[in-house]
Amino acid sequence: MHSITLRFLASHSAPSASGRIHGGTVLRWMDEAGFACACAWAGGNCVTALMGNASFERPIHPGDLVEVQARLAHTGETSMNMLIEVRSGGIQEKELREVTHCVAVYAALDEDSRPRAVDKFTPETPGDMALAERVNAQVEAARQPFAPVH
């Protein structure tokens, strides 16, 4: 499986003092979707190696319908690069709106918690190829060290 979509209602027990869902909660949902997609592709346990470039466009409120989609874009020897997107809206709205997205990398682990090989993912459509190129560029940018602040 090279994508997974989780859909649920945002819990009324999870809001911040402002009545919005905490960004950390949204990031946890994103990691859960990415982890599920990675484990399904790898056929076993995985670990999060990187999550980067998340930028929040709008808040999620308790009771909103939330959709978290993780899509595999590229595989390395033991790793999987993904795009994870979050959309939300009122339960009766026709379309959900983008909340945030990020790139993530997961590594497959063997029984001894050492990296293990994963099956190769080959993008087949022009859209999948463009996605792989974009995600790989963002992963490389996220891995660059920060420049010192003077």
Q: Which helix (H) or strand (E) holds 47?
A: strand 46-52
Contacts of 40 (CB under 8 A, 6+ apart): 1, 4
d(CA 136, CA 127): 14
Mean pLDDT confidence for 112-124: 96
Contacts of 93 (CB under 8 A, 6+ apart): 65
User: What is the pLDDT, as a whole number, of residue 88?
Assistant: 97
**Contact at 8 Å (CB) between 135 and 74?**
yes
Residues in the chain: 150
User: What is the pLDDT, as a whole number, of residue 1?
Assistant: 65
pLDDT in tens, 90-108: 988 889 999 999 999 999 9
Model confidence at 83, pLDDT cuts 50, 70, 90, reads very high
Model confidence at 113, pLDDT cuts 50, 70, 90, reads very high
